[in-house]
């Protein structure tokens, strides 16, 4: 299975999510006080989330299921089984 967005551990993935979403929220929440300078937090958030919030969510599912699900294909039919 291709775990493109998965992290090496769940705690690391959740920490990336907190940092990424925190930076994105901070970029817009601090806008009235810090002005456009606060928007410099947005790229930090996107880097922490590896590009987009959806990619982070997909990675969360991949991280949780890593090692628990196995895909096998035989005779043109693929099955997902629990290991």
Q: Is residue 68 in some structural domain?
A: yes
Q: Is residue 18 in some structural domain?
A: yes
Q: Is residue 24 in some structural domain?
A: yes
CB 5 within 8 A of CB 61: no
- One digit per residue, pLDDT tens: the chain, 83 residues? 567 888 888 999 999 999 999 999 999 999 999 999 999 999 999 999 988 999 999 999 988 888 677 778 888 888 888 87
Total domains in the fold of the chain? 1
pTM score, whole prediction: 0.77
Q: Is residue 2 in some structural domain?
A: no
Tell me which residue range forms the domain holding 29: 10-82
Q: What is the Cα–Cα distance from 62 to 24, expressed in whole angstroms?
A: 23
CB 7 within 8 A of CB 13: yes
């Amino acid at each position: 299975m291709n775990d493109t967005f998965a992290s090496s551990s769940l705690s690391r993935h959740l920490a990336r999510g907190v940092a990424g979403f925190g930076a994105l929220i901070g970029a817009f929440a601090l806008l009235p006080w810090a002005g456009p300078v606060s928007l410099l937090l947005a790229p930090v958030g996107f880097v922490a989330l590896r590009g987009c919030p959806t990619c982070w969510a997909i990675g969360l599912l991949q991280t949780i299921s890593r090692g628990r699900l196995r895909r096998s294909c035989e005779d043109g039919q693929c099955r997902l089984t629990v290991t």
